[in-house]
Chains A and B, each alone.
Chain A
Amino acid sequence: MKVFIDAIENACKDVKYSELLYKYKRDLLDEMNDRACDVQQAGLTDEKVISDLILSEYPDIRGDFDRFFALEKRKRKESLEHKLLAIGTPLFIILAVAVYVIQGIMFDTWSGNWLIIVGTAFVMCILCALAANRKILRLKKVFHPIARLLTAGCVMLVAVFVFLLCGVTIGWGSTWVIIPGGVIALLLGDLAFAFITRQKFVMINTFIYIPAVFTLLYVILAGVGIVTWGKGWALILLGVALDAVIGLCVLLNNAKYKYKQEVEDIWNEN
């Protein structure tokens, strides 16, 4: 319908011509014409009413274009990133293998150099996980646990790499503490993620994670000899006590929002 073309052209008259602008206008016009067909099939025959009705469904064509433009730009950027990741991952791994082999042949030191390949593989995994997370976080909250699992996986990959690096370079003696340290980072990271993204049951997470973190802290500190195995378990009690304090604070805070009906006597409008 010509009225749709006029409305679209009028709304976008100050926008410089581009392929994106044409695509937007073309798609919008097709959508409007489809809607017009729908209402005609429903039995509406008055052309003025059809056009007014359809146009009322698009009250901000110019604003919609800005949003469409931003979305398309983001889509193109992401598409480029995905292509780079898809092509770059095998290339990067081949490059890492080549560096490993050349460095091994040139300096004749093979032990420990395998970390180059492992490190590269871990970095690629983390990049892929981060790219996936960005998409997942735009979905409904029901899908967010997947992002939490991927984030936890990334943290553990970093911990494992640091563990391997320390083991190879300074020896394996007490490096095992890096693994429980990684789990602590994982739990705290997950808690931060849950708070920032306002996940459900975040307080339940808190109450479980705090004693777990203190238990792992006890294992690490006792493992490296800072506290004794015999007395250090008091840290676990400290975790439980911290839980109790947080629980109490939450209860006190919630009590502020408890409605006491007898206090209110002003709602007499009816």
Chain B
Amino acid sequence: MERKLNAELWDKMHYLFRDFNDRMVHVELNYDFEIDVEALKTVFICFFEKAPVLHSRFVDNHFTTHWEVMPYNIDDVITVEYPENVPEAVERFLTQYIPPENPIQMKVAVFFKDGKTTLCIVENHMCMDGGDLKYFVKALCQNYNDYVNEHISPIKLRTGSRSYEEVYSSFSPTETRMAKNLYKNVCAKDDHTFPLTNNNIADVPFIARRKIDEERFWKIKAVGKKHGATINDMLVTAYFYSLYELAGYDPSDSVTISCAIDLRRHIKDTGDMGITNHTSFMQCNIPERGRDIFQTLNYVVRSVNKFKNDKFMGLYGLPLLKFGYSILPHGASEEVIKIGYSNPLLAMSNIGILEADKLALSGHEPTDAFMTGAVKYKPYVLLSATSYKNVVTLSMCVRGNEQDKKIVNDFFDLMEKNLAVLTGDAAE
């Protein structure tokens, strides 16, 4: 019998984002030993059964949308390869696109070389966001270890509601009603773009990365503390300042960067929730570049604190979106929402810390770990940041050409330079 799952609000929103990005979220974990592929397959089958949205296809018949659970075989999910050139294989695998109509929404690759393993995961953002993917990967490692070491069945994955309304679950009835009355369009209205080349049909997706070493990481943290800023604020500041330099914006221009926020901050206990999306954006705005990068930092801290002081941070657009999707058939709703929605041209997502001990397999911590968001279509860009063992990895996924790759790398050079200025290691 056909089994259907509800298409939740964020599933539909990410489906709407198909014009702006490829909606894939990427993970790469490197280990210095060969992992047990059969055990990994067992864990993944159990997880797919616990989260059936991962083996479902998205059905849009213009009137309604839903997920249809599909049969699958784990060999269609997990690919095992022994490539000569692992980085090339990783790049090829990670930049793939899984259509929402595909019966499987997550693909996994295991690359073996010289007794080492690279584990890569690509999944559709419509199923879950970076926050839950991080949880998923940690649960994967935990269940793998329990299964390999003690033959405990790998079935410990959260299941439950995927509804966006879970964000209200820890609120009092009055707070819930207040939050559900926040009908406000919170879209970014800024025309400043990242200076990439024009779109071309020959463009291909690529993932550009840059590491910020541990020494610099600690310095950023220390300087940030002195200025009342978090690491995220410091990175956003460098992002702003580098953009002014790279794109040549007028220093008196006001610029906005949309920063992803995890709405799980509003939920006290996520234990009975299914894997899903709970991400919104806050608009970090600076009125001008400022005379130096420290003034930019002040603007950033001021803007971010305004959001942090808001009890309902990130919950503003939700009732409006819910209303938009409720009143009309899906196709018409999308058109109406598109009128009011403007996708941010400049965005940042700090995925946060990847904990080495929780990602360990059979006692081996990853030698390197990295996560990044979707491949954006020009002119939209998203800077992702993850940290692993106090090394920050900045990444940008773009569908572009060699020239774009060079521009993104120039941007990373500027980021490094500006972070050095912030930490007092270089003059402006």
Contact = CB atoms under 8 A, between A and B. Distances in A.
Same complex: yes
Interface of A: 38-39, 41-44, 46, 48-49, 52-53, 56-57, 254, 257-259, 261, 264-270
Contacts, number: 72
Nearest to B156: A56
Q: Which 8 A-B pairs have the closest CB atoms?
A: A52-B153, A43-B74, A264-B311, A259-B178, A257-B177, A267-B311, A44-B45, A49-B153
Given A52-B155, A264-B311, 15 more contacts: A38-B71, A41-B73, A43-B45, A43-B75, A44-B46, A46-B153, A49-B42, A53-B49, A57-B49, A257-B177, A259-B179, A259-B181, A259-B311, A261-B310, A265-B309
Contact of B178 (A257, A266, A268): A257
B174 A267 contact: no
Given A52-B155, A56-B155, A254-B181, A41 B309 contact: no
A258 B313 contact: no
Nearest to B74: A43
Interface string B350-386: 0000000000000000000000000000000000000
7 contacts: A42-B71, A49-B147, A257-B174, A257-B178, A259-B312, A267-B310, A267-B311
Interface in B174-199: 174, 177-179, 181-182
A268 B308 contact: yes
A39 B45 contact: yes
B155 A53 contact: yes
A259 B75 CA distance: 51
A254 to B, nearest CB: 7
A81 to B, nearest CB: 28
A222 B365 CA distance: 88
A42 B45 contact: yes
B265 A270 contact: yes
B18 interface: no
A41 to B, nearest CB: 7
B206 interface: no
Contacts of A270: 230, 265, 308
A43 B308 contact: no
A269 B265 contact: yes
Contacts of B182: 259
B41 interface: yes
B73 A42 contact: yes
B218 interface: no
B338 interface: no
Given A259-B182, A267-B313, A44 B308 contact: no
B181 A258 contact: yes
B74 A42 contact: yes
Contacts of B82: none
B100 interface: no
Nearest to B177: A257
A57 B178 CA distance: 36
A39 B181 CA distance: 44
A50 to B, nearest CB: 9
A46 B311 contact: no
Nearest to A38: B71
Nearest to B151: A48
Nearest to B180: A257
Contacts of B308: 267-268, 270
Nearest to B174: A257
B309 A268 contact: yes
Given A259-B312, A265-B309, A270-B308, A49 B177 contact: no
Contacts of B75: 43
A55 B98 CA distance: 31
